[in-house]
């Protein structure tokens, strides 16, 4: 299927499948903004409420070349409107409650109890909007022995066990190079919001959705939490794969490939490719269990074959044989891949300062309601006056809020 065929029934009159949904987002850094980013990409109207001094993401490095804008902020806060508002003030609380009263979803990722102290917690918002879907994202969740602790992404990765298996065998625990816990919590926050919204539309009932970074990492641990509870030994494999062999990152003449086999039929094809057809039915290697038992043997065979060949030759030979393999790319190299561009994973966007930058596009593709980066991250407070006017504030009231440092 080509792209045109996939989108042959696409509509152009909607922002996406969540067109018509309004989200108010009081978030900072990554996990909460990621949940809002997904909903905004899906077409929801997302109004981000940000501290008058600007949130953490605006100060994260790296900056976009030729600009003073943070790549992180531009990535995670696109497709949103921005309202500058000091939530800890009484006037700020009143503005926020008016925003929430007209919203379908509220997202926040402050330390549990913080927004309740400011008078804008779930119960406060529910008092003005009984069917609100209120999503709270935090390190350890809204309840539990550790719920009052500060919990950031790398802390969650280490607490939940992820780092104990990440890295090379015999090495030190290693965190992910991306904000893995924040990303997964953001995804589960968006999923939770959509599920709760479906329930609200069916029953009229709103609810509080509680998402923890730790829980999100544990849920995505491929059963390893259960294995740990059952006393099943867990080993660190690095680039090898516990369920198959040979699988690894192999050095070639001009780089590395990641390649391997899973099925017994794959092994037969690989044996032929390696020029060792006699090994296809060798009882030491013919079955998955046997190959895992003789992991070093088969891994060494494939490593030696790759070592004398360029990456492109190895990747093409595997593709021709119906076997999985890829060049081990840097992000810079991935950005040049035709596959990445055809899938619209880099979308040129004009930013608030006029700079053009390729921003990462939405992952999910919708044939009927396509999604895209519709607008850049707004400058701090760019939509404040317009949104307040929508809520009924007049020019005098808006000026007073500005003079008092609320907006």
Residues 6+ apart with CB under 8 A from 199: 205, 207
Burial class (CB in 10 A: 0-12, 13-18, 19+), 264: middle
248 phi, psi to nearest 5 deg: -175, 175
Alpha carbons 30 and 179: distance in angstroms, whole number? 8
Say if CB 257 and CB 311 are below 8 A apart. Answer: yes
Residue 313, Cβ neighbours under 10 Å: how many?
15
CA 288 vs. chain centroid, Å, equals 33
C-alpha Rg value of the chain to the nearest Å: 25
Environment class of 352 (CB within 10 Å of its CB; exposed 0-12, middle 13-18, buried 19+):
middle
Q: Are 182 and 173 contacting, i.e. CB atoms less than 8 angstroms apart?
A: no
Q: Taking the CB of residue 203, how many other CB atoms lie within 10 A of it?
A: 10
Other C-beta atoms closer than 10 Å to the C-beta of 265 total 12
Neighbours of 126 (CB within 10 A): 17
- Residue 385 dihedral angles phi and psi, to the nearest 5°: -65, -40
**How far is the C-alpha of 46 from the C-alpha of 77, rounded, in Å?**
10
* Strands lying side by side in the sheet with 325-327: 247-252, 255-260, 325-327
Count of residues making up the chain: 407
Active site residue 182: yes
Cβ(351)–Cβ(58) under 8 Å?
A: no
The torsion angles phi and psi of 260, rounded to 5 degrees, stand at 165, -175
Give 227's contacts (C-beta < 8 A, 6+ positions apart): 234
Catalytic, out of 41, 104, 153, 182: 182
Active site residues: 182
């Amino acid at each position: 299927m080509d792209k045109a065929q996939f989108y042959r029934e696409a509509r152009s009159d909607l922002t996406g499948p969540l067109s018509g949904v309004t989200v108010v987002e009081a978030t900072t850094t990554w996990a909460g903004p990621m949940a809002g980013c997904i909903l905004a990409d899906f077409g929801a109207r997302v109004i981000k409420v940000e501290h008058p001094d600007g949130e953490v993401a605006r100060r994260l490095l790296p900056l976009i070349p030729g600009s003073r804008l943070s790549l992180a902020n531009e990535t995670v806060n696109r497709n949103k409107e921005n309202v500058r508002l000091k939530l800890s003030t009484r006037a700020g609380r009143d503005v926020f409650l008016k925003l929430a009263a007209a919203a379908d979803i509220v997202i926040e990722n402050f330390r549990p109890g913080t927004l309740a102290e400011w008078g804008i917690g779930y119960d406060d918002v529910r008092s003005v909007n009984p069917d609100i879907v209120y999503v709270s994202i935090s390190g350890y969740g809204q309840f539990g022995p550790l719920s009052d602790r500060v919990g950031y992404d790398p802390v969650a990765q280490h607490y939940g066990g992820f780092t104990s298996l990440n890295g090379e065998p015999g090495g030190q625990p290693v965190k992910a190079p991306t904000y893995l816990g924040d990303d997964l919590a953001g995804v589960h926050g968006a999923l939770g919001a959509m599920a709760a919204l479906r329930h609200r539309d069916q029953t009229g009932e709103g609810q509080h959705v509680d998402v923890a970074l730790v829980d999100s990492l544990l849920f995505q641990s491929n059963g390893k939490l259960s294995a740990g509870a059952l006393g099943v030994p867990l080993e660190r494999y690095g680039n090898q794969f516990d369920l198959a062999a040979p699988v690894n990152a192999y050095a070639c003449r001009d780089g590395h490939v990641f390649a391997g086999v899973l099925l017994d039929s794959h092994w037969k094809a690989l044996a032929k490719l390696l020029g060792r057809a006699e090994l296809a039915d060798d009882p030491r290697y013919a079955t998955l269990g046997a190959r895992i038992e003789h992991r070093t043997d088969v891994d060494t065979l494939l490593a030696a074959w790759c070592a004398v060949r360029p990456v492109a030759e190895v990747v093409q030979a595997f593709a021709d044989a119906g076997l999985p393999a890829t060049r081990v790319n840097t992000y810079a190299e991935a950005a040049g891949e035709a596959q990445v561009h055809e899938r619209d994973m880099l979308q040129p966007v004009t930013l608030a300062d006029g700079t053009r930058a390729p921003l990462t596009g939405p992952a999910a593709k919708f044939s009927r309601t396509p999604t895209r980066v519709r607008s850049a991250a707004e400058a701090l407070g760019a939509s404040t006056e317009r949104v307040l006017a929508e809520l009924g504030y007049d020019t005098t009231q808006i000026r007073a809020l500005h003079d008092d440092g609320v907006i």
